[in-house]
Amino acid sequence: MRTERDSMGPMEVPDTALFGASTQRAVLNFPISGHRMPDGFIRGLALVKIACARANEQLGLLAPEKSRAIEQVAREIVDGALVEHFPLDVFQTGSGTSTNMNMNEVIANRASQLSGHAIGSKKPLHPNDDVNLGQSSNDIIPTALHVSVSLVLRLRLRPALEELQGALAAKSAEFASIVKIGRTHLMDATPMTLGQEFSGYAMQLSKAVERVDKAIFALQELAVGGTAVGTGINSHPEFARRVCQILTEETGIAFREARNHFEAQGGRDDAVEVAGHLATIAASLTKVANDIRLLASGPRSGFQEIRLPATQPGSSIMPGKVNPVMSEMLVQVCLYVQGLSAMVVNCGRDGHFELNVTLPLIAYALHESTHCLANAVRFFAERCVRGIEVDPARCRELVDRSLMLVTALNPLIGYDQAASVAKEAFTTGRTLREVVLARGLLDAETLERALDPMAMTRPGARSGGE
């Protein structure tokens, strides 16, 4: 152990740790869950420290050699190094001050190590006076929240959703000529093509991508520059604008200074909005995953219109059983994400006066949601959707057996007569054709044209119902 000091006095810190006294106090105070602050958040915070150092250098407030030292270490962290030196639990001080000081101390001590000074000497960098110059945890942690979540949304979730959208669109094209029965209320409806059904799923994913873009836009205002309560005390008037400009250059995302710093620190409405978009995406993915596993149900007693790739044995007692495990996995992830999203909504209410004090938990929830969704979507596309096959004979069998083809007869024989035909066909077990011809309602040629299932799938060719 070595002895370091902070404003509360001396503290014993492990020799191998790059963090200092403030972080060690938090380690001892918050051994709660074992869930550490997300790696993506830590990298985002390091990126914010780079921008702050450069901005302070540009403003003549920080010596160039100190700015370079901060950036050198922070860049290591952005690149994924030094993760073992960020041990803090999610359940900590609600402002994230412990994590902010964790970052300040690691940067300062690593700079000491690289420059040949003793760890803990605060040479050449002081964790507060230099690394945290012009900053407060109260504006920097919300800023890191927005920056880091924006990055994982753009770099991880968006590409995964695009991949699934492409896989579903490809299946829509592949199945364009396969006629099947549509279903509403879980009951037979009028015919459609399997391609049309999958086109709906593909569009849901296209809209999911659009929702990611909306979420990123919601996060583009940054709290940096507000410092303690939003007034900007101890921060240069140009500091926030320059930090946002540097972050934009670093990320390609158009970050900008908050229009109102009191809102940016006291409220977390932007994070709540992002949680709403993630919950909507999860709801959409659940619908797709459930439909796909239902369409594949069987293999002898279900719909079995499509066949899913076999990924693993489905039962420890029933030999040969194969289950739709990729759909089940995705549904569970979506339930988890919706729970996390509800938690963020509740966290958003706790903006008492000038600061929300659930920031670490919001950061954890949004990063965890994005991480799990991105992985789940990618594997669902790869190991389920791309390998889906159709059973054309089964699709046709269910179409031919459906009584809802009678809907196409409405314009020819009227609703009441068509309903009577359907009831007689169901009661007697005869086909619609047999009943219509027996009653002499239509000639065979007209009836054949009217009951052509493919014709019923053409947009505008027929009017449907519920």
Tell me which residues are annotated as active site.
Answer: 185, 315
Residue linked to tokens 């003549």: 60
Q: How far apart are CA 339 and CA 78, in angstroms?
A: 29
Enumerate the H helices of 350-431 as residue ranges. Answer: 359-383, 392-401, 410-413, 415-428
Give the list of residues 6+ apart from residue 444 with CB closer than 8 angstroms, or none.
437
In three-state secondary structure terms, 36 is strand
Rounded to a whole number of angstroms, the distance between the first and last alpha carbons of the chain is 73
Q: Which of 34, 44, 276 is nearest to 156 (CA)?
A: 44
Residues 383 and 309 sit within 8 Å (Cβ to Cβ) = yes
Quote the longest CA-to-CA distance of the chain: 101
Provide φ and ψ at 404, rounded to 5°: -80, -5
Structure tokens at 116: 């040949």
Q: Which of 214, 169, 176, 210 is nearest to 193 (CA)?
A: 176
Over its C-alpha atoms, the chain yields an Rg (Å, rounded) of: 30
Q: How far apart are CA 235 and CA 48, in angstroms?
A: 15
Residue linked to tokens 């459609």: 192
Q: Which of 188, 87, 103 is nearest to 141 (CA)?
A: 103
Angle at 205 between CA 204 and CA 209, to 5 degrees: 120
Q: How far apart are CA 365 and CA 139, in angstroms?
A: 19
